[in-house]
Amino acid sequence: MHYRRRFFSLLFVFSTATACINVPEVEPLPNGPEADAGTQPDAGSEEPRTLTLLNTLPAGGSTQVPIDTQFVLTFSSPIEEDSLNVTIQPQVTLARTEWAHQGATAIVHPAAALAENTTYTVTVNAENGAGQSLTGTRSFTFTTTGPAPDTTAPTLLNTTPGQAAIGVARDTVIEVLFSEPMDKNSVQAAFAITSPAGLNSGSFSWNEAETVMTYTSPASAAYGATIAWQISTFAKDKNGNALQDLAKQEFRIVRQATMTMPLIYSASGTITAGSSVRHYRSYNTYELERIGDNGAQQGSRLFLAFKLDTLPLDTIRINRATVRWWLSLRLGNPFEKLGPLLLEPVDVGESLPQSHAEETENPVLTAAYTARPLAPGFTIAEADTGTPGQFDVTSYVTTNWSRRDEANYRSQFRIRFTSETDNDRDTDELRSSPTTHPTLADLEVIYEYP
């Protein structure tokens, strides 16, 4: 019986496979009984298959993977849907999972497109219906498509102040424009004021694109100081590319100087209103100058003119301008009787002619005496004799300097009491004499220049 069953089996093989040759005999399993035809192994004796991840899409090691890809995971047997756990680094938010092949294939959809030119690592965990956990390779990596990695080193496109700039304001900020967005922390750590000391505790700010860094110093720099700063190669762009070379620059802060402008005597001095409303000027040099009224009920006003042409043409700013006027004598009570003493900016021309009281009306002196102020004046406090009254005329001189071509580099002022005379035939005057001080007045200007 045993041999007969083998014979019929061989006849069946030969009858159905005409191309078969050298068909070996079916041998019994090693160390076991021969299997009878028609018998089946005991189903309960088969070992459960191991759960593995057969293949993935994208495949492990793939490059140029589209950023809108989906993850297709194929397992060796169906898995419990609730047991599937997929983690991705860098982190990706997953939207939903579809199933195929009776639960042996999972199609996982990201909630949004992946990042370009990025390497992702996917790790999978799952269990099948028999409670077996996933074994073998459970992780794979792939790289998305996108532009080539940025390997270009950043550069400095522009700086403010520029290299070797001069006349820079003391409170200036330093602005650096880079060729691409930068890693802010690395740039700030790489920045330093190398000279002078004490200016490295300032603050940083950036534009929205992170291409312009602004540094504000903790204090104003000294006049004339040379500021040296640098950015080391520790500074990097957003992709970690460092500056190729140390960047070093310097600039010089504005300088300050003081200059004293002498009086223009031909355009300075006293103009007196005569009793018949004639205006005269007794001297065209500094002799005896008056402000107030005399016993003949004549009022006097003092004019002071200065030439600004000795200031450098590259003057940046006038920080302070002070008129100093020397008072020699006070007669009577002019401040009590004639009202406040005023200083007003005026423009009375290049010179004031000399004219005596008995002469006819001089239109040049009349125009100067009654000239409309160029700007509101201010009250002068009572000054002690023998010391100069000092008056801040910065705003007036700054205006004169700005229109210096039109005014021929002049800055002129008129000093007068509010009232011309009190008609009491008493002398109430302020007087200046060269015997007390050789200079009637001067103009001190503190200015900035490159």
Give the separation between CA 211 and CA 113, rounded to whole angstroms. 27
Total of domains in the chain: 3
233 assigned to some structural domain:
yes
Residue 219 sits in the same domain as residue 266: no
Residue 275 sits in the same domain as residue 348: yes
25 assigned to some structural domain:
no
Residue 247 sits in the same domain as residue 296: no
Residue 166 sits in the same domain as residue 117: no
- Report if pTM > 0.85: no
CA–centroid distance for 221 within its chain:
18
Residue 320 sits in the same domain as residue 337: yes
Residue 314 sits in the same domain as residue 427: yes
Residue 321 sits in the same domain as residue 427: yes
Residue 444 sits in the same domain as residue 351: yes
The tokens describing 424, both together, are 């009491």
Residue 268 sits in the same domain as residue 317: yes
Where among 98, 124, 144 does a domain terminate?
144
Range of the domain at 69: 53-144
CATH of the domain at 191: 2.60.40.3710
Residue 249 sits in the same domain as residue 288: no
CATH of the domain at 96: 2.60.40.1220
> What are the mean pLDDT values of the chain's consecutive 10-residue runs (450 residues total)?
33 30 35 38 55 95 94 95 96 94 93 94 96 95 89 95 97 96 98 96 96 97 98 97 97 98 94 81 89 91 96 96 94 93 94 79 90 94 70 96 93 95 92 93 97
At 284 the pLDDT is: 83
9 assigned to some structural domain:
no
At 116 the pLDDT is: 92
At 385 the pLDDT is: 59
At 8 the pLDDT is: 31
22 assigned to some structural domain:
no
Where among 88, 118, 144 does a domain terminate?
144
128 assigned to some structural domain:
yes
Q: What is the pLDDT of residues 364-392, one digit of tens each?
A: 999 999 999 999 999 988 766 556 789 99
